[in-house]
Structure 1
Amino acid sequence: MSEPYQVLARKYRPHTFAEMVGQSHTTKTLINALDADNLHHGFLFTGTRGVGKTTLARIFAKSINCESGVSSTPCGTCPTCIEIDNGQSIDLIELDAASHTGVDNMRDILENAQYMPTKNRYKIYLIDEVHMLSKSSFNALLKTLEEPPEHIKFLLATTDPQKVPVTVLSRCLQFTLQKLTHEEILGQLKFIMDTEGFKYEELALGQIADFGNGSMRDALSLLDQSISYGNGSVMVADIKAMLGLVAHDDIITLAQHLINQDAQACIDFVKELSHKGENLTQALKDLSALFHQISIAQIIDNSGVSDDIKALSAQISKQDLQLFYHIAIHGNKELPLAPSEQIGLEMTLLRMLTFHSESHPQKKKHLS
């Protein structure tokens, strides 16, 4: 019988600090503290979803409870390391604060904090989304955080540190995990695809990395979906069809219509996209990204810029480009308020044409 399928985000979850992607500022601090055996009793990991908060906490828990001793490089093979990796360690108490918001829940949990660990060096409380705790629960937690037993470690994780009381923040070492860069996510996606032996186009993985928006877990979930859609391969055409993306060449064409001040061509272009069922909101975001690339090409001499972008950068003034970008960003905010996506995108493009400088009035074409 074949093994059940394991999603990529779980299969490739890091088990050591060396396997972590990004977050070098946090891992360096934790590694130094572990190697010096200079351990605080409370740690707070903050950051957006999918950047490694819970993963770092579990690696840290493994590092301080590994049977080979406290170290930044846990063996990964002893019973304790295996139990933590499998989520079966009796001395690693993982809590979801969203489902344990009440003070009674917190009191019941902390009553056991006074007792020694069952088999490991430390008893570790890993509380995810800690900002969801009620005020009374925080007060109950605060007492234990103020005077913790030597065998207790608190690992707290949250996506919203502003909602965590200052009294709790001041008693923890706080680590702010940053969004992962496009290159970091893309590198991990390529590593996974190569390891799994799947075919892929790098541009397709780049689009997935962009959609991850700094979150490795979001990118891996989309990669899972893409592999299923492409039956074991990840290609640009499949990503475009799956996500309703507009081809890059089409976005270049739309930008050319705007620069030419051809209103009729812009309206016809949007109608065609809408007729094909394309994602118009994403099309406007892609247009904004293109304006950014053109602006960079105008200011910085970059030999790596494509010929299309170089050509566009020579046809539009810096002032008009900044205006177009500003209108596109605000148009994205207004799209949900428009009667329809199509109308919202059309009005945004017409606004760009309306406020375009009159430096080339002979090129301006009106709707017939």
Structure 2
Amino acid sequence: MTTSLLSRRTFTRLLAATAVAGLGCFGLAQAQTYPTKPVTLVVPYPAGGANDMLGRLIGQKLSEGLGQQFIIDNKPGAGTLIGATVVAKAPADGYTLLVGGFASNAVSPILFKAEYDPLTAFEPIGLFGTAPMVVITFPNSKYKTLKDVVEAAKAKPGEVMYGSSGNGSPLHLAGEMFTAQAKINLTHVPYKGGSAHILDLIGGRLDVIFDTSTNSTPLIKGGKVRPIAVSSKTRMADFPDVPTFAESGYPDFTVNGWYALYAPAKTPKAIVDRLSVELQKVLKQPEVIEKLRGVGVAPASGVASELAKYGPDEFAKYTKLIKDANIKAD
């Protein structure tokens, strides 16, 4: 091999190494100056709900920490797919983020025809909260425990009715998971969103609802419904007398609403890391912890690697459940 050839190869390798180092420095420089303009947080739900409130809370605190405005952009529709698709197709520069979770990143892409793959379309920034499911009934219901529900369902299969906000909703999936684990037959009564299912439960026209803690907590505190079990690992601080599913004999029941922050795929790692670090700081603020817990949400860590594992695990779990139970969307 000639000296000139060796020199050319050495020069090429040095050039490549320099280019890689340059990209790394560029990404670091981006992170150090980011953000230099307002950041859009896409919430794939209408204004006024729990997801919107949580997105605004996190956005406000990120704005305070990073010194730029975080603008909430509500883009509801198609089971959250409209908003999530906007973010999946947005420039990967850290200026368009998704307040995602259970529907957008685990369930809706299975039930509907999504234009994105939830496992590859986003960079996980961090999980910021989880909301356990709560089995609720009306105040004077004969069902005091999960055991009561199961025994009634076994005595008269199909007679016990549980309501939900629609086919494929978290409430429906929770009910299907429980019926499979308890080996019982409950009749699912789907509603077209809104609060009609809650009104029918309060009126005694439904037996139970597997509801999210974000929705059920104010109803329980107001005395409109009565909780009989929660899906959290330990009892909820607000309802210390309500047993967990595990305590009630169903340790494998793990259905939770969850809330997370995502960026489009290929967003520079340095920017994702900076957002994740800032999110972790936000989630340690006493005011944020209090507000999250006030609506039945347990604060998470905000660590990107945790979300990188949690999201795919949830997607795999619901892919199996939806297939096994032959669940179809409305």
TM-score (norm 1): 0.22
Q: Which has the higher strand share?
A: 2
Larger RCO (alpha carbons 8 Å, 6+ apart): 2
Larger Rg computed on CA atoms:
1
